Each structure stands twice: as structure tokens, then as C-alpha cells.
Amino acid sequence: MGGESGIRRAMVSMLYGNWFTTAVRLMLGGMMLFAGLVKLADPSLFGMAVERYELLPAILVPYAATIIPALECLIGISLVAGFRVRASAASAFVLMVLFIVAVSVNLALGRQIDCGCFQPAVTGLGFSETLGPWTLVRNLLFLAGFALIFRADRHLLSIENAIEKTRLKNLEKSKYE
């Protein structure tokens, strides 16, 4: 019984926002920033990746290939810095849902295509990731992470938190101004 209440306390603290959610936020933010930057390094390469999924009409591919990396970078920066966390977590959630749909459709059609998720050719890590169930599982984990960040009210080590602290500290002062 004591253990159960401990788990419950941990859940509540996680929903409110604790060090765990902060760690998730920093890691996913860093991941988004990294993914965005390697895609920005070579837009044409990412364009080919978008084309491989065969979901967008060819005329829209360049637009998607320019907007998605910038969006990933922006979301990554604001998650790591902790500014407008809810909005960026929600945007990341939407983006992740789009990715999951794209991956699922291609998996269902049995296409063996390169993921294009982290652009290994740019980073020179020398691995290439073929689309598989693991890609889907990983994206679902990311999705859960973004949902957790979105749900949390407090974000440690964030600009938002610092602003809130300052505001609360100066509450008395501002009341009479």
C-alpha cells in the first residue's frame, strides 16, 4: 500500500512537472533541434527524403522540405530554453502525428525506404535507417514524451519558470504600483 501511494505521488508530481519531465523536455528539445539542424544542412537531401514517402504532390515537396526543418529547429530551441513550452510541445505533437501517419502508410504499403529522420549522410555517422516497426515505436515514444511535456504545469530550468518566480517574488510590489 505504501508502494502504491509512492507510485501515485510520483505520477502526480510528474503531471505537475518535476525533474523527470524537465529531463524529457531537454532531451526531446535537443533531439528536435538536432534533427532540424541536420536537415537544414542539406535541404535538397531532405527534399528527396520527403519525395520517397510519396505522399505529397511533387510541387509541394520543396515547401515541406523548407518548412519542416525550420519548424523542428524552432520547436527544439523553445523546448530547450523553456519558452512557450505548451505551444511548442503541442506543435511538436502535431508534427509527430504527421510523421507517424507518413511512416504508417509506407509501412502498410510494404515500402522499404530510407527514413530520412536524422539525415545520417550529413552527420557522417555512417548508418542509414530503413523504415521499420522500430521507427514507428520510436515516434510513438516521442509522441508520449511531448504529451507529458504538454500536460506539465511547471518546467524546471526554463525561462517560463524564471519569469514566474520573479513575478511571484515581486507580487507584493506590483500590487501597489
Q: Does 1 bind another protein (CB under 8 A)?
A: no
Q: Which is nearer to another protein, 94 or 105 (CB)?
A: 94
Q: Does 88 bind another protein (CB under 8 A)?
A: yes
Q: Does 59 bind another protein (CB under 8 A)?
A: yes
Contacts of 76-81 spanning 24+ positions with Cβ under 8 A: 76/29, 76/30, 76/31, 76/32, 76/33, 76/34, 76/35, 76/36, 77/29, 77/33, 78/29, 79/25, 79/26, 79/28, 79/29, 79/32, 79/149, 80/25, 80/26, 80/29, 80/30, 80/33, 81/158, 81/159
Q: Does 70 bind another protein (CB under 8 A)?
A: yes
Q: Does 71 bind another protein (CB under 8 A)?
A: yes
Among 35, 75, 79, 149, binds another protein (CB under 8 A): 75
Residue that the C-alpha cell 526531446 belongs to: 28
Q: Which is nearer to another protein, 21 or 78 (CB)?
A: 78
Amino acid at 7: I
Q: Does 58 bind another protein (CB under 8 A)?
A: yes
Where does this chain bind another protein (CB under 8 A)? 40, 42-45, 47, 58-59, 62-63, 65-71, 73-75, 78, 84, 86-88, 90-91, 94
